[in-house]
Amino acid sequence: MIKISYKVVKLLSKKRLNISFAESCTGGLLASTITSISGSSKVFTIGLVTYSNQAKIKLLKVPKKIILKHGAVSYETCLSMVKNLNKISKTNIAVSITGIAGPNGGSKKKPVGLVYIGIKKANKIIVKKNIFKNKSRGSIQKSTVNQALKMILDVI
């Protein structure tokens, strides 16, 4: 994880881009991974851990009706999170994460390990659905951060 986060920070710095995060199930692990790299202060602007539905609604302005209709862990919520984070942060790249890290909280429709990662750069938005199977809570969180870092590299 350190190697790829180093690459992300250096590339963002080289291209003079900045980045912001809105994390839920990773609880700030993505922000922590980036800020563990020297020079990250040049590229990292803001990280919000919007763990509760209330935080998503109040801080990120995710419409309550989206969460009621689709759930906190959904394509729609992730999309709203990344769009509104971008408005708040005014960064070149915004990243949102929402998912079920387990070991509880899953269902047949939304199993433990289901995670959505959203990235917005300029007018391009990508929301990717991931399912990290048969993993522990910590492992799901780390896999999510790794996937997010790869997606960030792809858009830089």
List pLDDT tens digits, range 9-45: 999 999 999 999 999 999 999 999 999 999 999 999 9
Average per-residue pLDDT for the chain? 97
Average pLDDT over residues 99-114: 95
The pLDDT of residue 111? 96
pLDDT band at 155 (very low <50, low <70, confident <90, very high): very high
The pLDDT of residue 135? 86
Average pLDDT over residues 87-91: 97
Distance CA 130, CA 59 (A): 25
Tokens of 137: 């809570």
Q: Return the CATH architecture of domain 2-155.
A: Alpha-Beta Complex (3.90)
Q: Are 95 and 19 in contact (CB under 8 A)?
A: yes
Distance CA 65, CA 77 (A): 10
Distance CA 12, CA 27 (A): 23
Query: What are the pLDDT digits (tens) for 132-152?
Result: 998 899 999 999 999 999 999
Amino acid at 154: D
The pLDDT of residue 2? 74
